[in-house]
Copies of this chain bind each other. A is one copy, B any other.
Amino acid sequence: MAEEDSEAIGLTKGRLEALSDGIFAFAMTLLVLGLSIPEKTTLVQSDAYALQLLFSLRPDFFHYVLAFLILGAFWIGHHIELNSVRGIDRTFVWINLLTLLFVALLPFSTSFSGDLSDVPVGAMVFEANLLSIGMGMFCQWQYATKDHRLTSPSLKPAYIRKVSTRTLIVPGVSVLCILVALTGSTWSTALYMTLPFVGYAVGRRET
């Protein structure tokens, strides 16, 4: 398909951003479906029961907050990348769609790991999903900046490296989480709570 000229694709950066924003916003909102309330008929109407129900949803809440904020970070990252991209081609669109495929999958993984919070495999599904999104974002950036394929020639190599590094933070932590989960621990996803500090440390070192 490479032989088609860019005009023929009819895809502008703006449109791709619109679709991406839409899928990010929907995926972030759909996460809430992981917080499932039992069938109405089986509910007991008492304060004690209500509190117990909320308490039993603890791992689901934890994964909801984690997934929402990490998706927020990816969304910011997506815009940082697109900001430097001048025009897009078919390959870039497909890398982007593949990344969005994993973004849209996150409500499932979040719900899965929230429901199976006592077993390492539950957490690993969530972590592998975040790893996939992060790697998709990384590939996208590599593809766009390789020989200034889709970016301005004046984009500084230092900036390209800086964004590359930042894009690898979530995948890096995810690999660590998966390794911890492989040892049999069930609290591996808690490692994501270090993200703000890792982000800050990386930001420090750069300047």
Interface size of A in residues (CB-CB distance below 8 Å): 82
The answer to whether A121 has its CB under 8 Å from any CB of chain B is yes
User: Which residues from chain B contact A10 at a C-beta distance below 8 Å?
Assistant: 76, 79-84
User: In the complex, what's the smallest C-beta–C-beta distance from A112 to chain B, in angstroms?
Assistant: 6
Q: Does A175 contact B (CB under 8 A)?
A: no
Q: Does A133 contact B (CB under 8 A)?
A: no
Taking the closest CB of chain B, its distance from the CB of A85, in whole angstroms, is 10
Inside 8 A of A65's CB, which chain B residues have their CB? 101
Contact with B along A57-75 (1 / 0, CB 8 A): 0000000110011001001
Chain A to chain B contacts (Cβ below 8 Å), 12 pairs: A10-B82, A18-B21, A22-B22, A28-B100, A29-B104, A37-B112, A37-B115, A45-B118, A46-B119, A51-B121, A54-B121, A76-B93
Extra contacts besides A23-B29, A27-B29 (6): CB < 8 Å: A19-B75, A21-B22, A25-B26, A29-B107, A37-B115, A68-B104
